[in-house]
Amino acid sequence: MSEESIKIVSYNPAWIGIYETERNFLYSLLGDYVQGSIEHVGSTSVVGMVAKPIIDIMVGVKSLNASTGAIELLSNNSYCYYPYKADVMHWFCKPSPEFRTHHLHLVPFNSPLWDERIAFRELLRSNSDVASDYASLKKVLAHKYENDREAYTQQKWPFIKKALESIENVGS
Decide if 4 is inside a domain: no
Return the pLDDT at 2: 47
Q: Is 167's pLDDT higher than 90?
A: no
Range of the domain at 77: 14-171
Q: Is 149's pLDDT higher than 50?
A: yes
Decide if 33 is inside a domain: yes
Percent of the chain with pLDDT over 70: 97
CA distance 134 to 21: 27
Q: What is the mean pLDDT of the chain?
A: 94
Decide if 98 is inside a domain: yes
pTM, rounded to two decimals: 0.92
Decide if 114 is inside a domain: yes
Decide if 43 is inside a domain: yes
CATH number where 166 lies: 3.30.460.10
Mean pLDDT value of segment 20-44: 97
How many structural domains are present in the chain? 1
Return the pLDDT at 168: 77
CA distance 37 to 99: 27
Mean pLDDT value of segment 17-29: 98
Decide if 6 is inside a domain: no
Contact 109, 60 (CB under 8 A): yes
